[in-house]
Structure 1
């Protein structure tokens, strides 16, 4: 008898059980046939003609064979091997195009323990895009999907995350994705760039300060830790935190308590910690540059962010996405030879460098079609800069260039000359650091670092 024919059949009850899930769900047989779908699934992915006995891999991927025979992980096959529920990250075909979907497969056994059906739960991964440009994270390569699967899992937890990867690979975007996928998404994600900060500036930025705590502290200032209360604190380039400040950071992570600079009042903040670095922290621990106890505090769940070289399959998608984001509404396309030129390039600066190259290409091209010679010209710009790097190390011309040239003979060492130059500016502008930084063409943070070095 057809299992659909009788309302009293066990299968009929199982199919209606799907409506109890708060996400898209389908009932699948042991031979991959979709037997039922719930309302969430039909709204999210569309109707499935059950009378045609479709297979799950046909509907979700357009495959003629199961996923594990097409080079992907198959949750159904995994459940058959382990006997318990399994999760994988898949790219599914949807009415909106290809999208990342977090798939959880639940086995249903009879009283004798024989496997009867599977319930497949599908949750869209909103922080990433496999085809369109709506997601912050863009990619569909194997390395990208492996990273995204870890991001999807850890986002829902409260564990501290350590993002590892080369500069320009997108670690800050991954941190945003973790925050957006967490229970803290309605609160702030607060970022502190740790590179280039002195002890005093790091402490003031992180913990805040009270009025009169030091020269120039004319007002109370709330620190980033306090701003992150209830949300996520992202410490970028954690490997650059001064060693003397690492013990205070460790105490903050362990207790959630801190004191603003110049204050005796202890405050508390409840935040989720995400850190990132391009440095080898293990080697830094061995050489004494990074505290071992702090390393194990931040390295609860490490996530490796792959370089662009490791995800070459994503290059066309990244190019189209970046062009759409930076072109101000005008459509640009690369010729095939231009694309092949970029595919042969190593991208030491990763996605950040790719964005720069495409920005240059838009400026240099006269049409909306970017050709190979334009890409080659963009790449040659960096090559020429590297050849003249010694000249680029000299200070940029400024209204005070005469001061620099006058001291050059007296101070032949560039670093000493720079300190003398900044000291002259400080005296001339009555120690107004903001004005001096603007005149020197550097950030206030860089000025503090240079003055205290």
Structure 2
């Protein structure tokens, strides 16, 4: 934070003090110089005593939390969380408890209650000692984490479950660093969204995030796509072309499904990671790359290493900081907020809601395809729904074809009936829509490619 108190202090055995009413134990006097220093910092800062009482708050903190009532003299957890007990007694991690145990600065991710609603905040807490060496105060710094939300939003990461918050805390910790990140998770868990969150939390956020879909690149074109090529490097190379590494210069290179990179290319990728250099296809010139690498896979890379299908040295280079993305079935409490956000995206212009019974069906569904499958189910349900509320019967029809692992009879609706219903819903949309196909796709909340595929199936592709 720029002052000497940030240096780690000796580890002491400190017994947490009992909750003492402010009037029973007046706070120790605070140096005016420290208060003046905090007042000059742009991020919200407070100074709290060992009984959690706020003894000083800078203007940035007062602007965020002091609109409703004064903050001085109140306990920090009351101001930022609206609770009467310390955070670690209410299901969250308390940085003061950690700092008492370690004697050092501590960082945690919290979900704060602000005048604008709930918001994820990075907390950094530093212990300060008085003249006698007793840790009398703690400086708490708050930085909003804008890459995620606990409530519905147009884009980005959404959730508040413990599994989601654990994953998000790792994103917040590694984001500002240059470390390579490996995202591990099932298909549909949102690996690209997490990669963007890592990028947006880094000093490279103003530069590009370039996605490399490793699974879709043929082996023969992989090197050229990644590193670029010179004119005449191969048949059809009529002009020199930079690769995706150059496009990501200064930013982040996201290697999606890194487990699908062919073995011959793995050694060249390793060279890029180790030396920061590469060559275009057909060139002897060594170029330097300024990229941060984030990779993702749904495969078991450790097993692939054991089988000789993935280089061990590359695996360790990519997995400097691994982050596991929880599947949707491990965070069912996030389904209501996810569903509201996704409904707004798949049915723009409509105000769709889920009945309580429909929501219960969603929370009980295994969702092997994770958030991607949830979106598909809701898109299908929106097409099958004529009113403003998706009821349990409509959702059952949408779920009946949501997973190839579930027999159609589970919902009691034959597949042919579902296809007919979806086809009729699409014909109805065509009849009432008089704009372009792009506008229709946007209205239905699907891609233009998906719309044309559906229209071809109906014989309406013209």
| TM-score for both structures, normalised by structure 1 | 0.81
Could you say what the CA RMSD is over the residues aligned between the two structures, in angstroms? 2.2
Question: SS in structure 2 opposite 1:382?
Answer: coil
The equivalent of 1:262 in structure 2 is: 282
CA contact (8 A) 2:122 2:145 kept: yes
Q: What CA distance in whole angstroms lies between the structure 2 residues aligned with 1:147 and 1:378?
A: 30
Q: What CA distance in whole angstroms lies between the structure 2 residues aligned with 1:52 and 1:87?
A: 23
The answer to whether residue 341 in structure 2 is matched with residue 312 in structure 1 is: no
Q: 1:276 aligns with which of 278, 283, 296?
A: 296
Q: 2:143 aligns with which of 81, 100, 123?
A: 123
Question: SS in structure 2 opposite 1:246?
Answer: helix
CA contact (8 A) 1:309 1:347 kept: yes
After superposing on structure 2, the runs of 4+ consecutive aligned residues of structure 1 that deviate more than 6 Å are 384-388
The equivalent of 1:43 in structure 2 is: 63
Q: How does 1:287-298 map to 2 (within 5 A)?
A: 287-298=307-318
Question: SS in structure 2 opposite 1:184?
Answer: coil
CA contact (8 A) 1:126 1:135 kept: no
Q: What CA distance in whole angstroms lies between the structure 1 residues aligned with 2:85 and 2:160?
A: 20
Q: How does 1:173-188 map to 2 (within 5 A)?
A: 173-188=193-208
Question: SS in structure 2 opposite 1:36?
Answer: strand
Q: How does 1:390-401 map to 2 (within 5 A)?
A: none
Distance of aligned partners of 1:299 and 1:313 in 2 relative to their CA distance in 1, 3 Å threshold:
same
Deviation at residue 217 of structure 1 after TM alignment:
2.1
Q: What CA distance in whole angstroms lies between the structure 2 residues aligned with 1:384 and 1:273?
A: 35
Q: What CA distance in whole angstroms lies between the structure 2 residues aligned with 1:83 and 1:213?
A: 60
Q: How does 1:406-421 map to 2 (within 5 A)?
A: none
The answer to whether residue 47 in structure 2 is matched with residue 27 in structure 1 is: yes
Question: SS in structure 2 opposite 1:315?
Answer: helix
Deviations 1:114-160 (CA, angstroms, capped at 9, x unpaired): 11111111100011111241561111111111111110111100011
| TM-score for both structures, normalised by structure 2 | 0.79
Question: What stretches of structure 2 of length at least 5 have no aligned partner?
Answer: 1-21, 24-28, 409-452, 454-462
CA contact (8 A) 1:36 1:50 kept: no
CA contact (8 A) 1:169 1:308 kept: yes
The equivalent of 2:36 in structure 1 is: 16
The answer to whether residue 174 in structure 2 is matched with residue 154 in structure 1 is: yes
CA contact (8 A) 2:54 2:71 kept: no
Deviation at residue 354 of structure 1 after TM alignment:
0.5
The equivalent of 2:106 in structure 1 is: 86
Q: 2:258 aligns with which of 231, 234, 238?
A: 238
The answer to whether residue 380 in structure 2 is matched with residue 360 in structure 1 is: yes
The answer to whether residue 137 in structure 2 is matched with residue 145 in structure 1 is: no
The equivalent of 1:378 in structure 2 is: 398
Deviation at residue 47 of structure 1 after TM alignment:
3.5
Question: What stretches of structure 1 of length at least 5 have no aligned partner?
Answer: 4-8, 389-440, 442-453
Distance of aligned partners of 1:327 and 1:42 in 2 relative to their CA distance in 1, 3 Å threshold:
farther
Q: 1:204 aligns with which of 224, 227, 233?
A: 224
CA contact (8 A) 1:27 1:120 kept: yes
CA contact (8 A) 1:198 1:242 kept: no
Distance of aligned partners of 1:74 and 1:384 in 2 relative to their CA distance in 1, 3 Å threshold:
closer
Question: SS in structure 1 opposite 2:331?
Answer: helix
CA contact (8 A) 1:128 1:135 kept: no
Deviations 1:366-408 (CA, angstroms, capped at 9, x unpaired): 01111111111011123579769xxxxxxxxxxxxxxxxxxxx
Q: What CA distance in whole angstroms lies between the structure 1 residues aligned with 2:162 and 2:315?
A: 29
- Between Structure 1 and Structure 2, how many residues are aligned? 384
Between stretches 264-273 and 237-246, larger displacement belongs to 264-273
Q: What CA distance in whole angstroms lies between the structure 1 residues aligned with 2:171 and 2:155?
A: 14
